[in-house]
Amino acid sequence: MYIDNKPKFIISWITILITILMLSLIFINIPFNVYKSFNGYIVKYNKNFYIRLLINKSDFPVNKNGILYIKDKKYKYKVINIDSKKHVLDLKLEDSIKIDNNIVRINIKKEKITVFKILKNKIRKDLM
């Protein structure tokens, strides 16, 4: 007597595909932090050190007080001067990077976002 194994084979593949689909849906909805990176340079003004960024206003986060990272160290900053392309940040820097005209890489934490939102925004942007 011959027993057909096709239904077991199909059911196992359907189970695997459903499991992969469920795991991908869970992965898509996990929020994670997004960082924006900028190059800035340190300027000395009246014995104080500030960081000057030359970027567009639209690229910079909206909040005037926030947290940024330089070499994986967290600093609180305050924006003291904004015009169309110049941003001056006031923050307490370590002595090792307090060098006039020193170029530093700055990472600013933005809002948490999911992969689903990134894909949705990308598709919406491409369709417009």
In a domain, 28, yes or no: no
In a domain, 23, yes or no: no
- Kindly give the parts of the chain with pLDDT less than 70: 1-6, 56-65, 81-85
In a domain, 19, yes or no: no
In a domain, 17, yes or no: no
CATH code for the domain in which residue 73 is found: 2.40.10
In a domain, 6, yes or no: no
Which residues form the domain of 40?
33-127
pLDDT value at residue 71: 81
Distance CA 36, CA 81 (A): 20
In a domain, 11, yes or no: no
Distance CA 98, CA 36 (A): 23
In a domain, 14, yes or no: no
Q: What pLDDT digit, counting tens, does each position of 41-66 carry?
A: 788 778 777 777 777 666 666 566 67
In a domain, 89, yes or no: yes
Total tally of structural domains belonging to the chain: 1
Task: Annotate the chain with three-state secondary structure.
Answer: CCCCCHHHHHHHHHHHHHHHHHHHHHHHCCCEEEEEEEEEEEEEECCEEEEEEECCCCCCCCCCEEEEEECCEEEEEEEEEECCCEEEEECCCCHHHCCCCCEEEEEEEEEEECHHHHHHHHHHHHHC
